[in-house]
Amino acid sequence: STIPAPHLPRMSVYHYLFPFKKYKSKHRTRFLYYPDPNLEKPSFIDGLTGRFVTRAQVEEQSKMLATGLKIKGIERTEVGCVFGMNSLEWINACFGVQALGAVVSPANYAYTPDELLHQLRDSTSSFAFVQPALLPTFLKALELDPKYSIPDNRIFLLCTKAEKEQLKEKGSDAEKGWMERFQCSEELWEKSGTPKRFQDGMEERTAYLCYSSGTTGRGKGVETSHHNVTSQVQALNCSYEPIKYKDVILAMLPFSHIYGLTVTLHQPLTVNGTVVVLPRFDEIAFLKAVERFKVTWALVVPPMLIALLNSSNVSKYDISTIRGFMSGAAPLSSDLIQAFEAKFPHIKMTQGYGLTETTPVSNVMNLKEAQEKGRNGKIGRIIPTYQARLVDQETGRDVEPSKGERGELWLRGPSVMKGYWRNEQATREVFAEGGWFKTGDVAMMDKEGYFSIVDRVKELIKYKGFQVPPAELEALLITHPDIADVGVIGIHSKEQATELPRAYIVPKSGLSASFTTPQSKMEFTNKVQEWVAGKVANHKRLRGGVVLVDVIPKSPSGKILRKDLRARAVREEEE
Ligand code: 4UV
């Protein structure tokens, strides 16, 4: 093939992103993608205000924060949780902790206190960065477990000094109190001294702990090493040509998810692109940012395409600078690609596939290939550094893709996670002999090596790219006083281009007798939906509905037969 093999540096994430002069001159030619940095060029722009940081500032501020953390007594062996929407302060916190050599555990800003506590405790976070608006959730999480705590002098606010001053003056009473109580990250910046260099040979240490449910159960910490990240970015730079020095990239996917973290936070820095940061996806904020900053490239999930397709505001803004979108994290259908390209002919679509456990990308369609006929809907070839197998789940043998056979996708390469954090059993379950990682997705490969994802064998629902572990919803629902048994699956919504979580519920005996009218039934299912909505993050709500049944289909060993529930959902759809 014409794709060059990437050089895989053995160094920390921080020193890879900001190589020191000696290393850079020695290995100049091996950093293929590293143009001379223009130190005045904005690296990250706040998409709402226009405030920006240059590459030199990102580096300097990260070092200053690392020094500040060190003075606070925070060590390399510790884990720090970053809890907030995308912002320049989020980036500073992330790279500050990286400069120190400690571990970043980014948490989803939509979490409820319960969900956040699970991650804080499980990741053994001993310090944290929190967006001021999320302090109620964060502090509530700490209150829930008297045995777990983070002292006030290790909780830092994700805001500037100026924003802090403003809250001190104009905020609510609670906010005024918090501004007295906590320091913001900028207040930690210390000019004196630079953090010690990360020693060679430490690249196998953990850099990030993102949370993923994997194939089953609750969220687990995915141990992503420094080498996992650097090798992934090097491989992306060989295969995924779109993001270049001149590009202005929109970062609206959460940095707390591996997709936003790797592809919008790390990769663009290595080509000195400019990244426009939005706290989250919002149609108008998106359109305004594209027009104002002349955005050329955006990373999306399929439901964002639906929002733009149906938007009546698109024509009011100049979005002609966009060359293309990369979509990932959920299936992108050829119908949607076609509809989108018909409405926006200047925006070329491409698709990637990956998992938190693979840092994340294993397959990506490059732009030119994506324009060729017949490639629509496919996830592309395997990228350099990755190896793939398609394995029959029953026999454990490799299938024959040339005969159109499908199999579970197994992956191997330097960007596959080290394992699940402090969870040997879960780690053992996803690795096969020879270091192959079992994705839980079923794929096919055509004669030219292009893959498509055709099914999912693991227990996972994806709502707009976000993970919804069915086992977590089931564990919650079974605690409801009126529910005897429950099974949760995802149903597909074509209109919204996403799956929606649906619960099949067996009401406690005697209760069914009270459902004398369709109305009383509906009142009950609505009540259950609301009850769940009050207890989980927004993306985990039962948007696919609640259906009352007599029994949940189970295997002899007691496992919920989700296949049967899915078949039932298809029948219900047809009726
Ligand atoms: O662990 P996770 O939440 O991870 C992701 C990562 C997706 C990325 C990241 C960077 C990219 O550049 C990119 O294109 C995609 O989502 O969930 C992993 C599961 O999500 C499903 C599949 O079931 C994975 O096991 N999934 C992810 N991408 C696709 C997908 C896709 N293109 N088509 C179908 N399913």
Give residue 35's pLDDT band: very low, low, confident or very high (50, 70, 90).
Answer: low
What is the C-alpha to C-alpha distance for residues 359 and 33, in angstroms, rounded to an integer? Answer: 19
Q: Which residues are CB-neighbours of 348 under 8 A, at least 6 positions away?
A: 323, 324, 325, 341, 367, 370, 371
Residue nearest to atom 27 of ligand 1 (CA): 329
Identify whether the C-beta of residue 416 lies closer than 8 Å to the C-beta of residue 409.
Answer: no
- What's the pTM? 0.94
Q: What is the 3-state secondary structure (H, E, C) of 208-220?
A: EEEEECCCCCCCE
What is the rounded average pLDDT of the residues 42-51?
96
Q: What is the reported pLDDT for 29?
A: 45
Atom of ligand 1 nearest to the CA of 356: 1
Q: What is the pLDDT of residues 118-138, one digit of tens each?
A: 999 999 999 999 999 999 999
Residue 468 banded pLDDT, cuts 50, 70, 90: very high
Place of tokens 């496919």: 378
Integer angstrom CA distances of residue 198 from 52, 358, 359, 465: 28, 24, 21, 34
Atom of ligand 1 minimally distant from the CA of 352:
14
- Contact status, residue 504 vs residue 569, Cβ threshold 8 Å: no
- 54 by Cβ neighbours in 10 Å (0-12 / 13-18 / 19+) ranks as middle
Q: Tell me if the bond preceding 384 is cis, omega within 30° of 0.
A: no
Contacts of 46 (CB under 8 A, 6+ apart): 52, 87, 88, 277
User: Per-residue pLDDT tens for 362-410?
Assistant: 999 877 777 776 677 899 999 999 999 999 999 999 999 999 999 999 9
Residue 37 has pLDDT above 70, yes or no: no
Centroid of ligand 1 to alpha carbon of 492 (angstroms): 16
Confidence of residue 32 (pLDDT cuts 50, 70, 90): very low
Number of continuous H segments (helices) and E segments (strands) in the chain: 20, 27
Q: Report the pocket of ligand 1 as residue ranges, CB < 6 Å.
A: 212, 258-259, 263, 326, 328-331, 351-356, 360-361, 379, 439-441, 453, 456, 462, 467
Alpha carbon of 494 to those of 332, 334, 438, 539, 574: distances in Å?
A: 11, 12, 28, 17, 14
What's the rounded mean pLDDT across residues 148-176? 97
Q: Give Dmax over CA atoms of the chain in angstroms.
A: 79
Phi-psi region of 112 (alpha: psi -120 to 50; beta: other; left: phi over 0): beta
On the question of pLDDT at 24 being above 60, the answer is no
- Mean pLDDT value of segment 458-479: 94
- Ligand 1 atom closest to 326 (CA): 14
Nearest C-alpha to atom 2 of ligand 1 is from which residue?
355
For the ranges 234-238, 239-243, 263-267, 517-521, the maximum mean pLDDT occurs at 263-267
Closest residue by CA, ligand 1 atom 10: 259
Share of the chain above pLDDT 70, in %: 93
- Helix runs in 101-134, H state only: 113-122
Q: Which residues, in sequence order, are CB contacts of 342 under 8 Å at separation 6+? A: none
Least reliable range by pLDDT among 165-169, 199-203, 565-569? 199-203
- pLDDT value of residue 171: 96
pLDDT-derived band at 1 (thresholds 50, 70, 90) equals: very low
210-250 pLDDT, tens digit per residue, is 999 988 888 999 999 999 999 999 999 888 765 778 899 99
In the predicted model, is pLDDT for residue 557 greater than 70?
yes
Could you tell which of 216, 256, 258, 355 is best to mutate to test the pocket of ligand 1, judged by most ligand atoms within 8 Å of the CB?
A: 355
- Ligand 1 atom nearest the C-alpha of 222 is 1
* pLDDT reading at 195 higher than 90: no
pLDDT at 47 over 80: yes
Residue 490 confidence (pLDDT): 96
Strand partners, 104: 80, 208
Alpha helix (H) residue ranges in 240-333: 258-259, 267-270, 283-293, 302-310
Q: Using alpha carbons, select from 164, 198, 166, 195 the residue that is nearest to residue 181.
A: 164
**Does the pLDDT value for residue 26 go beyond 60?**
no
Angle between helices 88-100 and 55-71 (to 10 degrees): 60
C-alpha R_g of the chain = 24
CA distance 28 to 32: 8
Q: How far is the CA of 275 from the centre of ligand 1 (A)?
A: 22
Residue 240 is predicted with a pLDDT of 76
Atom of ligand 1 nearest to the CA of 257: 3
Whose alpha carbon is nearest atom 33 of ligand 1?
331
Q: What is the mean pLDDT of residues 178-188?
A: 97
CA of 273 to the centre of ligand 1 (A): 24
Stretch among 15-19, 292-296, 357-361 having the lowest mean pLDDT:
15-19
Span of 172-176, 214-218, 255-259 with lowest mean pLDDT: 214-218
**Ligand 1 centroid distance, CA of 225 (Å):** 19
Least confident segment among 2-6, 91-95, 263-267, 461-465: 2-6
Mean pLDDT, all residues of the chain: 91
At residue 34 the predicted structure's pLDDT band, cuts being 50, 70 and 90, is low
Each residue's pLDDT tens digit, 70-108 = 999 999 999 999 999 999 999 999 999 999 999 999 999
Above 90 in pLDDT, residue 6?
Answer: no
Q: Is 4 buried (19+), middle (13-18) or exposed (0-12) by CB count in 10 A?
A: exposed
pLDDT of residue 452 exceeding 90: yes
Mutational test site, ligand 1, from 212, 325, 327, 353, max ligand atoms within 8 Å of CB: 353
Backbone angles phi, psi at 81, to 5 degrees: -90, 135
Q: What is the pLDDT of residue 263?
A: 96
